[in-house]
Every structure is written in C-alpha cells, then in structure tokens.
Chains A and B, each alone.
Chain A
Amino acid sequence: MSYKRPAFRHPDAAINEIGFHQKDYEGALSTLCAGCGHDSISAAIIQACFELSIPPHRIAKISGIGCSSKTPTYFLANSHGFNSVHGRMPSVATGAVMANKDLTYIGVSGDGDTASIGMGQFAHVVRRNLNMVYIVMNNGCYGLTKGQDSATADVGSSGKAGVPTMFSSIDLAGLALELGAGFVARSFSGDKNQLIPLIKAGISHDGFALIDVLSPCVTFNNTKSSTKSYTYVRDHMESTSIADFVPVKKEITASVQPGESKTIEMHDGSKISLSSIAEGWDPKDRLSAINAIHKASLEGEVLTGLLYIDAAQPPVHKLLNTVDAPLNSLQERDLVPSQEALEEINMGFR
C-alpha cells in the first residue's frame, strides 16, 4: 500500500497570490477507505484555501473523533491543528478563537461527533457566533466504529447492517437556523463545483458558518437502501441556487445564469453571486430557508446550496467587545494598569 504521495505535481500547476502551490496546502496521503466522501471534502478544503491565498500557517483546523475528524491529517499539513475528544471540537475551537481571533478556523466534525455526543457543544458554539467554518462530514453513520446509525440517518434508511433506522433524524442545517446561525449551507462531497465556493464563502464569513456536507461512507452506508449513498444523493439533490464566490479584488464576470440572480456582499468586501435561484427562497430570509428545507424534505429531496446568510450578524469578539489585538498577544503591560491608572480608578470609588 502506498503511504506516500509522489513529490511530483503537474508541471503547469499554478501558484496563488502569495506564491504557494496547491501542494503546499495538502496533507498526508489519506488512510480512509478508498472512495470515502470525506476525502473529496478534504480536496475541496485544500483547493478553497489555496484559491483564497490564505497563508497556511494562519489557519487552524480543529476536529473531534471519527473518520471525518481524522481528515485534518490529510489536508493543510502546514497549518495548526488540534484533534480533540469525541464531540468536543467546539470547546477547543472556542478556546482557540478566544485566544487568537486573527487565525482562520476550520472545524471538522462528523454527524456522530456533532449530532450525538457533541450536540450540546454544537448548540452553544452556534449561539455564540464563534468566528469559524464548521464542516460536518455527514454520512448518516458512525463510520469509524463500523457503521452504526447516527442521529442524521433518515427514518427507514438502512446501511450495510440492513436494519432500517427507527428514530427520526436531526437536520443540522435546520437546527443551526433555529439556533440563529448567520451562515448555513448544505452540499455534497461529490459536487465540488458547489462545495468549493461554499467553503470559500464560509471562510470569508465573519462569524459562525455551518456547512453540512453529505459525504457517503462507501464501506458501511453506500447501500441501495441508504439515503446517504452516492446514487441516492445524486438523484435527490436539489439546490437553492448556483453560488459563486467572488474574491475582493475580482469583478463579477461569471455569465448570468437564467432565472433570478442576486449578489451578497460579505464583511470583507468579497461577494457571493447567486443565480438560478429557487422560487420562494430568499437567502437573507431565515423563514424562507426553514420553509425550503422542510418543503424539500417532505418531497423526499435533499436541499443543497447556500441556505441562509446574514453577513452583518456580530461575531463573538464583537459581542464581547474585545480589544483589536488578539488576546494571546497581550503582554503584562497591556493587562496590568499603571500606578496612575490604578490611582484614578481608586479615586473613582472615593
């Protein structure tokens, strides 16, 4: 078995604005099962970070436990990383975001890691609007522990074990909307054209961004009777719109697609341009997003694409009114007031 990827890349491989090759954003060769959807998501993260020209050392990737949570080893080898405890990625991310608000945070989790053991943690990180992209690699099962049903498995769906799921499923995107998230999207590991712009937009969003990515587990949940298989998702995918991410410096040149189109300006000046917008859906209207999700699910379809965005929602550091400098850079002299300042404060109490 190959444990190393060859060093050679395509001789015409481009470099990005800061002089890096895509290779500089890669990680170790994956040890996941061949054909696992998670590997495609890793590839999408690599490409998104490369194209956004983020210096690799300014990114931190944080994960919990699961096949999905293993993936940070397989991308961004030159970035910071923390592979934490099952379901505890949000706490570790919270600590990191509090300490250094200047890094780009990519949280990676699974449906088990998030919707079961980590559910409480997930809810709070959404509420607090932590500045991070939270990617759930959602395969409807606990892949790492041999494919037990997870809380996102649909009623009646069955994986390799052949026993249909009895309990109703949790829709993480719907839940995030309910909890007040400012950026909610859903995608499919097998559709990079959709996934990559969403990851870029999620990274650029100032605040919490959830991307729930359907990601088939080829080994335990890619059966004919599963609603998280490659074939099922492909056949039942519907999208809110075609999203294109437009970086700050670029003009929007993409040819206008038929149907209605919209452009959403992000906090940093970049834009999301949406075309072929579905009827009755407005990206800035939380209720319309909730409606669209429910409607699709009643029709047995899987709604993907950007579901909701509020680019102006204040992120955690704004809510807490912290200083501009990252907290981990504050020195004793920044934190301990001078004798005079102390005098002044004390005077105030006299």
Chain B
Amino acid sequence: MKPTDLKDPEYFHKVVDCQYACPAHTPVPEYIRMIALERYDDAYMINWESNVFPGVLGRTCDRPCEPACRRGRVEEEPVAICRLKRVAADMKGNVRDRIPQGPFPANGKKVALIGGGPASLTVARDLAPLGYEIHLFDEQKAGGGFMRSQIPAFRLPEQVLDEEVNYILDMGVHKHFNTYVSSMKEILAQDYDAVFVGTGAPRGKDLPKLPGRWDAKERVHIGIDWLASVAFEHTEKIGKKVIVVGGGNTAMDCCRTARRLGGTDVKVVVRSPFEEMKASPWEISDAQHEDIPILSCHNPKAFVTENGVLKGMMFQKVEAVYDDNGKRRLVPTDEPEVFIEADDVLLAIGQDNAFPWIEKDLGIEFGEWDMPVVDKVTFQSTLPKVFFGGDAAFGPENVITAVAHGHQAAVSIELFCQQSDVHQRPAPITNLYSQKMGIHEWSYDNGVVSDLRYQVPHANKEITLTNRKLEVELGFDMPTGYKEAMRCLNCDVQTVFQENRCIECDACVDVCPTSCITFTTNGEEDDLRQRLTMPANNPDQDLYVSDVLPTARVMVKDEDVCLHCGLCAERCPTSAWDMQKFLYNVSKASHVCPTEAV
C-alpha cells in the first residue's frame, strides 16, 4: 500500500466516525469535551455553527452518528451523542450575544426562500450575516416547517423550537408567513438574484383505491395533515379506537399523539415484519411504552363501514419471503382475514414531493418521479439561479440532512451571486495540533471509562398522556451528562506517526489494548489486512500505513477499534507517535473568498 496521505483532510475526518457520519459534519467529540468541562455555552455554539438547531436536534435528530460511533464497535452501545447535544442546549446560559446580530452591511443581493423549514432557515442563517436581503415564504403561520407542524410537542416543546428559529429570523429576515407560493414564474419575475426551494415533501400518501376508503372519509385521515392540524390546534380530539397504518416514524408520532387526544385503544398496523419497520428503534419503544401494540405482517384490505360510519378495517396476514438476492416479497398466508375495530384511521404510509406551483416551462427540469433534477453537490437546478434543498431536493430525509443541504446551497448561492463557478467550492477548514502537555500529559482526558450507556429519564406516563404538550424525555441532569460525556473516545484526537523518529522498539505494539498496530512488510491492502496482529476485517475503516522503516517494514495501524487512549504515544520513547487534535469544519458560505469588486 502507498503511505497514507495525511494532507488529504478526509483521511482523519473519516476517523472521527460520528462527525463523518453526521450529514452536517458536526465536530461531535469537541462539543462533548466542552460538556465534560461544563462549558455548555461553548458546546452549544459548536453545535449551532454546524447544525443550527442544537436544541431541536438534541431531542429529535435521526442520529446517523450513533450507529457510526466507535464505542459501538468496542462495547455494547454508542455514546448518547444526540442526548448530549440536548444537555448543551438545556444547560447553556444566554448565548444571544454570541449569535450574529444584525443589521448587517447589505451586499445588494436579494434571495427568496420558499418554505420555512430547516433547509431554508439554514440558508438564511448562512447568508443573512453576509448582507443578503432574505425573503422567506411559508404557507404556515410561523417558521420551522415540519419541525413545527409534524414533530409533536411532547418530543419537541414549542419554546425550544421558537428560540432557535428566532435566532435566525431576528437576523433581519423578511418573513412572508401565511403565504402559499402558487407560482414560481411570479417569483422569478421579481428581482431575486437567487431562489431557494425548501418546500419539503408535503403530500402524505393515501390508499385511494382501497375498498370503503371514501365511504366514511371524515374518519380517515392522512397522518401528516392530521399532525399539522393538531399542531396548529385545529384538531383536539380523536375517537377511542384508532388504527394507525404504517411503520415509520410518522406512524409513531401519530399513534402517540392519538393516545393524548382521547385514543384509549390505539394500534399500529404495519405490513412489514416487526424487525424491518422503518421507525427508529427508540421511537418504537417509546410507543410501546405508551401501551400501543404493534401488529406486523398485516396488509390493509378494506375499510369497513356501516351506514356511512367507520367500523374498522380488514387486514390480510402476510409473510416475508426473500429471493436469492435478499429482495423481500410479502406473500399472503392462508390465515383468515383479520378485522380490527376503529373509530378513526390515520394513514402514515409515506410522503411524496409535490411541485404543482412550479410551472414546467421555466427551464427547471424534472426527472424520475416528478423530482427536480438537482446537482448532489451544488444543489443547483437546471435553471442556474434556482437551488433546491432539504426534502424538496431528493425526497424525505430528516432535519439534519436539510441543514446540511442548506449550508451547501448557501455556499452555491454565494458563489453564484459573485459570478464564480459553483463547482469551485471552498475547502473545509482543518487544523491538526498536538495535545502533548508534558512527557505523559495530554490536554484531553485520555483515560477510557468502562461505563455503559446511561438511559435518559422519562416523565411519568400517567401525566404525559394527559397533555400533548408535556415533554416525555427529561434529558440528562448535569452529573449524568458528565458521565455520559466521559464515554466519548475522543476520536478526533488522532494518532499521528512520524516514521523518521521510530526506532522500531515495539513498545506501541505491546501496549496497545486493542492490538491496532503492526510492523510488517508492505503488501496489497487485502493481503496486508490479513497479516496484522488482529486481522482488519472491517473494510469501512482505513489502514494507516507509514513509509518504509529501516528494517524494511512499514507501520500499519488499523483505525477500526483504536480507543484514542494515547498509550502508544505515551510508551513511544521517541515521540514517533503523537496525539493530535484534528478539527474539521465543513465549508460554509462565509468561507467563500470575496471576489474583487469590479
């Protein structure tokens, strides 16, 4: 193998598993260390820079970082990264004065943001301080998009959302709420330098052809419309017996909301096997904890009504059969059909994008499934001044993905408005510096604690079920937050090897608790992986390979289960190993170098 190229910022970035997995590349270990130091404001601001909504995400994020967390590979469970974000938000003091405050010197450019969800708000956050005049349109009465209309208040209290949405709106954003944009043509006819479409995926899927669907239609609801109507207080009640059809997170929010609006017998009915449900495991267990049974392998057959009154639904039982390629088919079993009683049915079977308001002759090309053709890096559409992001760009994802899109779209808009090439993107800002303080002293806590993951306490369900606005999760208190923070392995503190210092004494090999380091002759990657002290069987994790050493061998380190404990560097007599903190900040609009004024 070739010696590892440390000049490529992506090499060390990838070692920071959580940060690499985070769509917005939040510097996770850095903020976790701040929490351990009780520097909550700093922890919050590190988050805010990257993901814009730490308080929201600390409660609701899909947390792609956690399955990636190294701790999950050496122990049972990952660090509670998401809930530590909430600790930062809950424990912080007043951070207003650390957030950019307008008025900002105008740069003469004007941008329209259609939709007021996290994607648009992120664009606003990044562009407002650069002097853009920003116009935000949303059909709802307040900003936040689905964070407001869909995520129930018992998971995300309104004041938490308001605070973080307002940090952005207060930067001088021109708000056009209660305004449905019905024509892109009209927008384009105005003097906007660029337009960002962040309208989400607002159309809930239906079962229009299922027998009986339209016979009692006022008791059959589209899940996301129903949740929005609850959020905006148009709906306050539901029948006692409720069926929620679907197995994703929307279904979980629907059933738990129904429990709070009078549903005493709420069931989730899903086609797939339980193990393959789309909802996050924690959302499923929260629903089950609220006495909501989940019936899997039930395929809807018909709505049953009597004299225009909904009585329930019929389901066909199915089983999952897999072909040789592992592709699943749901095959009906010969068991009799199942009737389930219901006063109301909530359909939570998916969402679609819908752009009825974008005229087809504007030069904005639409491709498969009527989705706009959008560049995956620049978020530019086929009409150069129009950009897409969030769920509107590539279909429903989640808040953190919308934020990540927003940052990149803002970079593109800044480049576009400077008449620069949107593909010439600014490099990420990186830094690598030693953590050495003395012979065996590091400026980070290099000890590795053995504590298992701490559980977040929940409020008593007897109380939370009575009021849909009472938050269920209580968050970690300070001492538990500290203990959970200490579980972090500091993966951003990199093991950096300098071959010209190494005397090949083997001390690092001997001391490494997880047998990461091997000195051996070089070879092709596949062969080398098998010849290490412990075979490197996780191909997702890189090998760090040095140049040739005096004994004609190379140093090979398998990054897979390195604990970043620093023992190799402590035991190295010549400091050939050093522990160096790697900071990686994703490129933002503010990193675009201003072009010379002409």
Binding site for B on A (CB under 8 A): 1-2, 4-13, 29-30, 33-37, 39-40, 42-43, 189-190, 192, 216, 218, 222, 230-231, 234
Closest partner residue, chain A, to B441 (CB atom): A1
Find chain B residues with CB under 8 A from A230 CB: 503-505
Given contacts A2-B565, A4-B447, A192-B506, contact A10 B570 (CB under 8 A): no
CB of B513 within 8 Å of the partner chain? yes
> Least Cβ distance of A52 to chain B in Å?
19
Which B residues between 534 and 586 are near A, CB-CB below 8 angstroms? 534-535, 537, 550-551, 561, 563, 565-567, 570-574
Find chain B residues with CB under 8 A from A5 CB: 511, 513, 567
Expressed in whole angstroms, the Cα–Cα distance for A2 and B571 within the complex equals 10
Expressed in whole angstroms, the Cα–Cα distance for A230 and B507 within the complex equals 12
Find chain B residues with CB under 8 A from A6 CB: 447-448, 450, 513-514, 563, 565, 567
Give the 3 A-B residue pairs with the shortest CB-CB distance, closest first: A35-B573, A6-B448, A1-B440
Closest partner residue, chain B, to A190 (CB atom): B506
Closest partner residue, chain B, to A1 (CB atom): B440
Contact of B571 among A7, A12, A34, A231 (CB under 8 A): A34
Contact of A40 among B74, B439, B506, B573 (CB under 8 A): B506
Binding site for A on B (CB under 8 A): 73-75, 439-441, 446-448, 450, 503-507, 509-511, 513-515, 534-535, 537, 550-551, 561, 563, 565-567, 570-574
Find chain B residues with CB under 8 A from A190 CB: 504-506
Contact of B534 among A2, A12, A192, A222 (CB under 8 A): A12
Expressed in whole angstroms, the Cα–Cα distance for A9 and B516 within the complex equals 10
Contact of A7 among B73, B448, B535, B572 (CB under 8 A): B448
Find chain A residues with CB under 8 A from B75 CB: 8
Q: Are A36 and B570 in contact (CB under 8 A)?
A: no
Find chain A residues with CB under 8 A from B571 CB: 30, 34-35, 39
Given contacts A7-B450, A12-B535, contact A35 B572 (CB under 8 A): yes
Expressed in whole angstroms, the Cα–Cα distance for A7 and B511 within the complex equals 12
Closest partner residue, chain A, to B506 (CB atom): A40
> Least Cβ distance of B390 to chain A in Å?
38
Q: Are B73 and A34 in contact (CB under 8 A)?
A: no
Closest partner residue, chain B, to A35 (CB atom): B573
Given contacts A190-B505, A192-B506, contact A34 B572 (CB under 8 A): yes
Q: Are A35 and B73 in contact (CB under 8 A)?
A: no
Expressed in whole angstroms, the Cα–Cα distance for A190 and B553 within the complex equals 13
Q: Are B510 and A40 in contact (CB under 8 A)?
A: yes
A-B contact pairs, 18 of them (CB 8 A): A1-B441, A2-B566, A5-B511, A7-B448, A8-B513, A8-B514, A8-B563, A29-B511, A29-B567, A34-B507, A35-B505, A35-B573, A39-B507, A40-B505, A190-B505, A218-B573, A231-B503, A231-B550
Not counting A8-B75, A234-B504, a sample of 20 additional A-B residue pairs whose C-beta atoms are within 8 angstroms of each other reads A1-B439, A1-B441, A1-B570, A2-B566, A2-B567, A6-B565, A6-B567, A7-B448, A8-B563, A10-B515, A34-B570, A34-B573, A35-B503, A35-B505, A35-B507, A36-B507, A39-B507, A218-B503, A222-B503, A231-B503
Expressed in whole angstroms, the Cα–Cα distance for A174 and B509 within the complex equals 32
Find chain B residues with CB under 8 A from A11 CB: 73-74, 561
> Least Cβ distance of A16 to chain B in Å?
15
Most buried by B among A2, A34, A216: A34
Find chain B residues with CB under 8 A from A43 CB: 506, 509-510
Find chain B residues with CB under 8 A from A36 CB: 507
Given contacts A6-B513, A11-B74, contact A234 B505 (CB under 8 A): no
Find chain A residues with CB under 8 A from B514 CB: 6, 8-10
Given contacts A10-B514, A10-B534, contact A234 B447 (CB under 8 A): no
Expressed in whole angstroms, the Cα–Cα distance for A189 and B504 within the complex equals 11
Expressed in whole angstroms, the Cα–Cα distance for A190 and B508 within the complex equals 12
Given contacts A7-B448, A8-B513, A11-B561, contact A2 B440 (CB under 8 A): yes
Given contacts A8-B448, A35-B503, A230-B504, contact A13 B74 (CB under 8 A): no
> Least Cβ distance of B169 to chain A in Å?
46
Q: Are A9 and B504 in contact (CB under 8 A)?
A: no
Closest partner residue, chain B, to A5 (CB atom): B513
> Least Cβ distance of B562 to chain A in Å?
10
Expressed in whole angstroms, the Cα–Cα distance for A333 and B550 within the complex equals 65
Expressed in whole angstroms, the Cα–Cα distance for A113 and B170 within the complex equals 77
Expressed in whole angstroms, the Cα–Cα distance for A2 and B567 within the complex equals 7
> Least Cβ distance of A161 to chain B in Å?
19
Find chain B residues with CB under 8 A from A13 CB: 515, 534
> Least Cβ distance of B488 to chain A in Å?
13
Find chain B residues with CB under 8 A from A192 CB: 506
Expressed in whole angstroms, the Cα–Cα distance for A51 and B5 within the complex equals 37
> Least Cβ distance of A224 to chain B in Å?
12
Contact of A35 among B74, B440, B447, B574 (CB under 8 A): B574
Expressed in whole angstroms, the Cα–Cα distance for A10 and B567 within the complex equals 15
Contact of A234 among B74, B537, B551 (CB under 8 A): B551
Expressed in whole angstroms, the Cα–Cα distance for A192 and B553 within the complex equals 15
> Least Cβ distance of B167 to chain A in Å?
40
Q: Are A218 and B505 in contact (CB under 8 A)?
A: yes
Expressed in whole angstroms, the Cα–Cα distance for A222 and B570 within the complex equals 19
Expressed in whole angstroms, the Cα–Cα distance for A225 and B538 within the complex equals 45
Q: Are B507 and A40 in contact (CB under 8 A)?
A: yes
Expressed in whole angstroms, the Cα–Cα distance for A30 and B515 within the complex equals 17
Find chain A residues with CB under 8 A from B507 CB: 34-36, 39-40
Expressed in whole angstroms, the Cα–Cα distance for A6 and B507 within the complex equals 16
> Least Cβ distance of B437 to chain A in Å?
11
Contact of A9 among B73, B447, B515 (CB under 8 A): B515
Expressed in whole angstroms, the Cα–Cα distance for A63 and B572 within the complex equals 26
Expressed in whole angstroms, the Cα–Cα distance for A39 and B509 within the complex equals 10
Find chain B residues with CB under 8 A from A189 CB: 506
Expressed in whole angstroms, the Cα–Cα distance for A192 and B440 within the complex equals 27
Find chain B residues with CB under 8 A from A29 CB: 511, 567
Find chain B residues with CB under 8 A from A7 CB: 448, 450
> Least Cβ distance of B79 to chain A in Å?
14
Closest partner residue, chain A, to B439 (CB atom): A1
> Least Cβ distance of A68 to chain B in Å?
15
Find chain B residues with CB under 8 A from A216 CB: 505
Expressed in whole angstroms, the Cα–Cα distance for A1 and B450 within the complex equals 18
Find chain A residues with CB under 8 A from B574 CB: 35
Closest partner residue, chain A, to B570 (CB atom): A2
> Least Cβ distance of A254 to chain B in Å?
16
Closest partner residue, chain B, to A192 (CB atom): B506
> Least Cβ distance of B40 to chain A in Å?
27
Find chain B residues with CB under 8 A from A8 CB: 74-75, 448, 450, 513-514, 561, 563
Closest partner residue, chain A, to B438 (CB atom): A1
Q: Are B534 and A39 in contact (CB under 8 A)?
A: no
Find chain A residues with CB under 8 A from B535 CB: 12
> Least Cβ distance of B451 to chain A in Å?
10
Find chain A residues with CB under 8 A from B448 CB: 6-8
Most buried by B among A35, A216, A234: A35
Expressed in whole angstroms, the Cα–Cα distance for A7 and B505 within the complex equals 24
Expressed in whole angstroms, the Cα–Cα distance for A10 and B513 within the complex equals 7
Find chain A residues with CB under 8 A from B439 CB: 1
> Least Cβ distance of B499 to chain A in Å?
15
Expressed in whole angstroms, the Cα–Cα distance for A42 and B537 within the complex equals 28
Find chain A residues with CB under 8 A from B446 CB: 2
Q: Are A42 and B561 in contact (CB under 8 A)?
A: no
Closest partner residue, chain B, to A230 (CB atom): B503
Find chain B residues with CB under 8 A from A10 CB: 514-515, 534, 561
